[in-house]
Chains A and B, each alone.
Chain A
Amino acid sequence: MKSFLKRVLGMIPVLLGVVLLIFIMLRSIPGNAAAVLMGEHVDPATVERLTRSMGLDDPVPVQFFRYIAGALRGDLGVSYRYDRPVTAMIAEAFPATLQLALLAALFAWALGLAAGIAAAIRQNKLLDRLFMGASLLGVSMPIFMTSLLLQYFLGFRLGWFPLTQEAGNFASMVLPAIALGWNSAGSVARMTRSSLIEVMQADYIDTARAKGLLRGGVILGHALKNSMLPVITMMALQLSSMLSGAVITESIFAIPGIGRLATTAINNRDMPVLQGTVLFTTVLVIAGNLLADLLYSVLDPRIRKEV
């Protein structure tokens, strides 16, 4: 536990680095943000007043530390476009992203585990090849392709699900969840299969079989438990990447989440919002990775002491 704390503290320079990098990149844009904000036909005095009130005339290091100090208090600045606190905008958008990510993860894990186990049991048989081929196809499909295919076939041709997400309508969340989870389902299936096959070659599996236990019982009772370690770690990592990587899914299915916030911020040249969303999702990813590590050490007694 002590060493885990050490790892948490070790993330602080990385986080500071992330803020610094984004800060430098976004501040190195030529032109005055205040002038851009006000449009073309404004007198210079007004622009200057706004520049000062936004703190844009301070030296960059001062701006940087002011931003850090604000971020620690939960203040990520004010949107240029909407004149609202960025933190509030993120808080509003996050539930949609969280809901999408959880549903997608649920779908990906259920399908991935089932397909992986089935493929491992029928190793090198037709079913195995079919599932593994499908999973590689899943991994190689760009997410917008999955989304458009789902929209076209399940949404438009068959009319089973709404094309875009509507608030409070569960059926409308099915397609985005499948689209976002599709790639992850493929990787979970592949990982489950290879891990399970490896474990099934261990001696204690032969012992259990020799005792007369049924094949299915051995797989569920002995092998599965021991093969899940890498799979579970991978799942934790997937959840954090889904929380951060829903940009395209949210854009296609018109979901008002964090990814949409980032894309609209780019189109609106709304720097504080972009900065805030990138920082927020990066924190999520870092936290997710830490959790995955922690989970790994909790689940595997052999490395519990070392971490």
Chain B
Amino acid sequence: MANKKTHAAPGEALRSQIGERDGAREKLARLARQNKLAVVSAAVIALALLLAVFAPVVAPYGEAEPDVLARLQPPSAAHWFGTDELGRDVLSRILYGSRLSLAIGILPSVAALVIGIVLGLLAGYFGGWVDYVIMRVADVMLSIPSLLLAMVVMYTLGSSTLNLFIALSMVGWASVARVVRSQTLSLKETAYVEAARSIGVSRFTIMRRHILPNCIPSLIVLFTLNVPAAILSESSLSFLGIGAQPPAASWGLMVNQSKQFLFNQPWLALAPCVAIMVVVLAFNFLGDGLRDVLDPHSQNE
């Protein structure tokens, strides 16, 4: 498909170089004014993160606190989302599960971002065989359907939380590398990079100081949209039983364990589903909003 045009205007690049960042703050303020949905989404994400961090304080019951006398209870004042087959409070499990689900959404996306930035810069800046090798590997990673790739990694490493993290990091870096590479390619031809090179600035300083900062807007957007994809992958793998393992609480795993009670106790499976949907939706709204203000070249999808 047609490559995204990502030339930063030379003027803009120059201004960023002399320290006059054309108001990242202004842009965010504009986002806040124009896109209320993005603001609400950011608030939802912040709330979800806070709830995850303070789960032990907020949750009315423990993570795995069975109560055999209160099994499969419908939602009530004591148990807002009811209880599961072991009498554990579903709301508390969702709050504790958010720690794993959010961590698995965010941490592999960070890892993928770092790997993708490094490889993308190397490929774009050095070109030649370095570029060829890195981009063919990226092609390979992108052509295997991501869920299947993650499944193969989980098969090899075994099902555990750490391996889930590794699998999802491996899946995500290639698209980051592509974006960084294409921006590097166009940026390294600009006058200011040439100027820096001519006064003897080292390659790595050029990449770090002059090229990377110009990639940041697209990377923020990419990251915001990678997180929900990772959350969905985690929940899918855990749903299939090859992700997080019991007794850990993860949203996908909760759905997996409670799908057998769907017809008589539907809240068991649907509560964690709704949690996933709200968080994913918030990240998607925020990503769309950020793209509109940060990435002027792709405003219409």
Contact = CB atoms under 8 A, between A and B. Distances in A.
Interface of A: 13-14, 17-18, 21-22, 25-26, 28-29, 136-137, 139-145, 148-149, 151-152, 156, 190-191, 194, 198, 233, 241, 244-245, 247-248, 251-252, 262-263, 266-267, 269, 271, 274, 277-278, 281-282, 285-286, 289, 293, 296
Interface string B9-21: 0000000000000
Contacts, number: 133
Interface residues of B, number: 44
Contacts of A194: 300-301
B97 to A, nearest CB: 14
Given A151-B262, A241-B145, A252-B259, 14 more contacts: A17-B140, A18-B144, A26-B152, A26-B156, A140-B284, A144-B252, A145-B255, A148-B262, A152-B262, A152-B270, A274-B151, A282-B144, A282-B145, A285-B143
B277 A233 contact: no
Contact of B239 (A248, A274, A289): A248
A151 B266 CA distance: 11
B227 interface: no
B1 A142 contact: no
B235 interface: yes
Interface of B: 1, 136-137, 139-141, 143-145, 147-149, 151-156, 228, 232, 235-236, 239-242, 252, 255, 259, 262-263, 266, 269-270, 273-274, 276-277, 280-281, 284-285, 300-301
Contacts of A141: 273, 277
Given A14-B136, A142-B273, A251-B240, A25 B281 contact: no
A142 B143 contact: no
The 5 closest A-B pairs by CB, nearest first: A17-B140, A145-B273, A140-B281, A244-B145, A140-B280
B154 A266 contact: yes
Given A140-B228, A266-B242, A148 B255 contact: yes
17 contacts: A17-B140, A22-B144, A137-B277, A142-B239, A145-B255, A148-B262, A152-B266, A198-B300, A244-B148, A245-B145, A245-B147, A248-B147, A251-B240, A266-B154, A274-B152, A278-B144, A296-B1
Contacts of B154: 266
A227 to B, nearest CB: 12
A244 to B, nearest CB: 4
A247 B148 contact: yes
Contacts of B270: 145, 148-149, 152
Contacts of A286: 143
Nearest to B279: A140
A136 B284 contact: yes
A18 B143 contact: yes
Contacts of B232: 142
Contact of A142 (B137, B152, B156, B277): B277
Contact of B236 (A144, A281, A293): A144
Contact of B155 (A241, A251, A266): A266
Given A144-B255, A148-B255, A285 B145 contact: yes
